[in-house]
Amino acid sequence: MTPTFSARRGHNSTRGMDLYEWQRECIDLGKTGTSVIVRAPTSAGKSRVCDAILMHRLKQLGGVALVVLPFVALCDERSEQIAVGLTGTDIRLVRMYGGQGGALHNWQRDTIVVCTPERANQFLTQAIELKRSRKIVFAVIDETHMLRDRQRGGAMQGILTKLRMCESEAQVLCMSATMKDRFMAALATWLGAETYSTTFRPVRLRVYVKRGNVLYVDETPSRELSGARDIDHIAQLTNETIEMGGSVLVFCQSKISCETTARALRPLITTASKIGVHNSDLSSSDRVDMEEAFRAGSVRVICCTSTLAMGVNLPARRVIIRGVHRNTSDGMIQQMIGRAGRAGLDAEGDAIIFDEHCQYTTTPDDDRVHMHESAATRLVVETVASGLVKTSNDVHRLIDCAFASDARSRIHDAVKWCRENGLIAWNETSETWSATKLGSGLSSSTLSPELVSPLLRRIQRLQRGAVLSSALQVIYLLVPERVGGDVCVTPRELVCDMCEEDAEAARRIGVRPFDARFVYAVALNDIIEERSTEHKFGVSVGDIEQARDACIRTGMDLCVVCESIGYGTVASVIGRITNRLISGSKDSTLELTRIPHIGALRARYLARHGIRTPEDILNLGSVDALFAILKKMSRNVTDGILIKSASNIFTAVGKMLEEKAQDISDLIVAGGKRKYPEIT
């Protein structure tokens, strides 16, 4: 939660809560019930503002509040913060991200749903179908600048467009640190919202640009770095920060650069401080452990890629931006810079940008947002399936409710495409649109519309020649076309070592040279068959894990689509193998993989030791017992990190079992008197 500070540092206290002046003003604005667009720097305390307005709204009206964040890691972090604030209340917290959460059974109970944009969009579509959209009284969209993002922006646009079109009374709160003026004004006009902007930071920030051995502030030389150049003076800048009791994030251009920088720094750091690496080559559990170690201070330096700036709230005393990818935006640079300075720990923070290695693009300050083809297609299917769009006039109303500057052409093209591809149908007699079974299935999933037809063709080929004793063909079906990093083995080499069933499945797939999809499919098949994959495929654990996550998402979505069009048997087979991918073993350990700090690899290892459910973890009796098991698995991880991880797992299991019991209760009893925490 946001730290509490004394009033003498310029904060105002309201009902026992110390607030910054800007927070008090913004909360007062939000309490009027109007929608608000908020721009405030990273670490300024936007979450406190969100929570206060959200709780005020629930107390006034009751209902459901959506908290939408773009990354699973951020969803985890915010869920934990919100859970603390709900202690002693009757308000329910539902997590809908990372495979967690399903249908909301009890719409009569006040509920906060934390979700990714895709899950929020899906949830809203279902709420409209169930005539429950008026129960949604509040929606916060964090990192709203991502409305422009090609991959995530479509879902965000879909949420806001449907809230406008269904005439919901939901109060909308949009928050970002990097929205530009014209975009912010256009968004406010579209939503009929007020705007609030502040440059306040609780920790003073200094930004330097490094050229050669000189640090500049606003083109003025500020300091000359002395001594050997080590790695562009990174060791010198790191050592002086550590000596002051601080920590350092070093942003690097690539995963390889992270490794080489960390390796070069280790002999040059003058204290016993450990240096860690954080990139997509690590498993999710290892990344979480690294973050925990950094927060605890047992790791003082992390060499990382730019994804850390968006997906994790991990502040440091000093941020060094050594290099970024050429396509990195100035907004992403601002996200990295915003990690400098730890509220409550540092009086100031600084960010150093290495000018010679950082070529980034400048985002234009305009009011235009484009709607990509896939987003437009999904929006059309969802609004027709949910009943929002029935007539030609409704199509025009959909265009009017959309934010994108090219909405008219995109939506007209999408209507034509959806009709031609059998997702929606026009009734000449009643002159109305309706969703086909395939369209309804797509609407209930998060699958990209353009993938539906190719996947169904593959399923039909699979039905004509599947090896039922092997999961390889189904996994190959689920692996995305563009997957992971380069592989150093050929498919034919892998076939030589296969069992008879898998070899026959490979023959029916049709092994082609340099088919990375096939290599990843074999790796994932080995995982669910509990075979060793170490050093076998020449790809990182992180790349395999990302491929697995993509397969799980596709598998879950395909199950929904197949059920809707009458492919029940196929849905059952895909569902069974998807569950095995989730658990990472022959026997289902699905519940284990949903516990924070336990990824597929840890779940698989625990299953080998007879631990397959949350109850089995509690039956170990102590954190020390779990630590002893984790220690055998992760010999290269320090004891401090593993003890913290074991403790977090025990805590998460307790909360999981409490929520499980509450789910059962909600199915039996609905309603009850609401109880609210103290709010501002």
8 A C-beta contact, residue 391 and residue 427: no
Closest CA to 648 of 295, 280, 273, 249: 295
Q: Which residue type does 176 have? A: S
pLDDT for position 677: 41
SS (H, E, C) 189-216: HHHCCEEEECCCCCCEEEEEEEECCEEE
8 A C-beta contact, residue 253 and residue 360: no
For 392-442, how does the pLDDT look when each residue is reduced to its tens digit (9 = 90+)?
A: 999 999 999 999 889 999 999 999 999 999 999 999 999 999 999 999 999
Residue 678 burial (C-beta neighbours within 10 Å; 0-12, 13-18, 19+): exposed
How many Cβ atoms sit within 10 Å of the Cβ of residue 549? 18
Q: Which value, in Å, is the radius of gyration of the alpha carbons in the chain? A: 26
669 HSE (CA, 13 A, CB side)? 6
8 A C-beta contact, residue 309 and residue 332: yes
DSSP 275: E
Closest CA to 580 of 592, 570, 588, 572: 588
Alpha-carbon gap, residue 658 to 394, rounded angstroms: 44
pLDDT for position 357: 58
CA angle 119, 122, 126 (to 5 degrees): 135
- Name the token pair of 395: 């199509």
Give me the DSSP letters along 616-667: HHHTT-SHHHHHHHHHHH-TTS-HHHHHHHHHHHHHHHHHHHHHHHHHHHHH
Alpha-carbon gap, residue 578 to 163, rounded angstroms: 32
| Regions of the chain short of the pLDDT cut 70 | 1-17, 227-229, 271-273, 311, 326, 356-367, 484-488, 532-536, 586-588, 590, 600, 635-636, 662-680
Closest CA to 290 of 273, 281, 277: 277
8 A C-beta contact, residue 266 and residue 275: yes
Alpha-carbon gap, residue 10 to 90, rounded angstroms: 34
Question: What are the backbone angles phi and psi of residue 296, rounded to the nearest 5°?
Answer: -80, -15
pLDDT for position 421: 94
Inter-CA distances, 650 with 96, 582, 612, 613, Å: 21, 20, 14, 12
- Name the token pair of 556: 């879950």
- Pseudo-torsion of CA 106, 107, 109, 112, nearest 10°? 100
DSSP 405: T
pLDDT for position 37: 97
How many Cβ atoms sit within 10 Å of the Cβ of residue 400? 12
Strands 171-176 vs 136-142: parallel, antiparallel or unpaired: parallel
Closest CA to 289 of 648, 653, 548: 648
* Angle formed by the axes of helices 623-633 and 600-608, nearest 10°: 110
Alpha-carbon gap, residue 51 to 82, rounded angstroms: 8
Residue 669, SS3 per DSSP: coil
Closest CA to 578 of 593, 595, 598: 593
pLDDT for position 42: 84
211: β partners = 214
Question: Domains of the chain (ranges plus CATH)?
Answer: 7-197 (3.40.50.300), 204-357 (3.40.50.300), 373-443 (1.10.10.10), 458-665 (1.10.3380.20)
Alpha-carbon gap, residue 403 to 147, rounded angstroms: 10
- Name the token pair of 505: 């499945």
